[in-house]
Amino acid sequence: MFIIISLLKNTKVGQNKEEFLRKLFTKPVRLKKINNIKVISALEGINHNYHFDKDVLTSIIMDTDYLVHKF
């Protein structure tokens, strides 16, 4: 069984770093030696972690700083 999750701007595992950066930034950005990009959203409290291997997006990890209490 597979779960398909749609992300904004059609971000997906398998796309190349240059395409990812064009979607994320309005101005050209060159980050050749950077393999991990972390986007912190203050309004939503969600951290987006993007990992690249050989300039290909290999994983996306979403994390939150919210505390969840089960009653």
Token pair 């939503």 is found at: 44
Do residues 11 and 51 lie in contact, with contact meaning Cβ atoms separated by under 8 Å? no
Query: Residue 7 and residue 70: Cα distance in Å, rounded?
Result: 28
3-51 pLDDT, tens per residue?
Answer: 667 777 888 899 999 999 988 888 888 888 999 999 887 777 788 899 9
Do residues 37 and 50 lie in contact, with contact meaning Cβ atoms separated by under 8 Å? yes
Q: How confident is the model at residue 69 (pLDDT cuts 50, 70, 90)?
A: low
For 47, the token pair is 């951290």
Q: How confident is the model at residue 70 (pLDDT cuts 50, 70, 90)?
A: low
48-67 pLDDT, tens per residue?
Answer: 899 999 999 999 998 887 76
Domains of the chain by residue range: 13-64
pLDDT of residue 58: 94
